[in-house]
Amino acid sequence: MSLPPLSPVRVAGVAKNNHHITNRIGMNALHYEASYNNTSTGCIQVLLAHMTITSINQKLGGYTPLDYVYDYNHSEVKQEIIALIRSVGGKANYY
């Protein structure tokens, strides 16, 4: 079961001031969107426009959001998401 992606309006609010916040296990909004977004790249574009490189490459168990795309995103927009994250300096530890 995949979770629905966040709405662009909600992401814009998160991205503006809270992009660095993680949940209790260390997942930030980009980890979530990279894993579960399967419809478009709009929300990821908003996040990337407001995130620091440190947040973009935040590790969760050694995995960055880019690693999460490779492992968990099996959508038609997967390659677009990979290209977007890499275009702003996103790194993968395992790919």
Q: Is residue 92 part of a domain?
A: no
Structural domain boundaries enclosing 13: 8-87
Q: Tell me, what's the pLDDT at 1?
A: 45
Q: Is residue 95 part of a domain?
A: no
Q: Is residue 48 part of a domain?
A: yes
CA distances from 79 to 52, 62, 70, 89, 95 (A): 22, 21, 9, 16, 13
Yes or no: say if 55 and 28 are a contact pair by the CB < 8 Å rule: yes
Q: Is residue 72 part of a domain?
A: yes
Q: Is residue 52 part of a domain?
A: yes
Q: Is residue 75 part of a domain?
A: yes
For the chain (length 95 residues), average pLDDT per consecutive 10? 52 56 84 91 91 93 96 96 98 95
The total domain count for the chain is 1
Q: Tell me, what's the pLDDT at 5?
A: 54
pTM for the whole thing? 0.80
Supply the DSSP string of 42-65, one letter for each residue. HHHHHHHHH--HHHHT--BTTB-H
Q: Is residue 3 part of a domain?
A: no
Q: Tell me, what's the pLDDT at 16?
A: 57
Q: Is residue 79 part of a domain?
A: yes
Q: Facing residues of 60 across strands?
A: 63
Q: Tell me, what's the pLDDT at 64?
A: 96
Q: Tell me, what's the pLDDT at 24?
A: 81
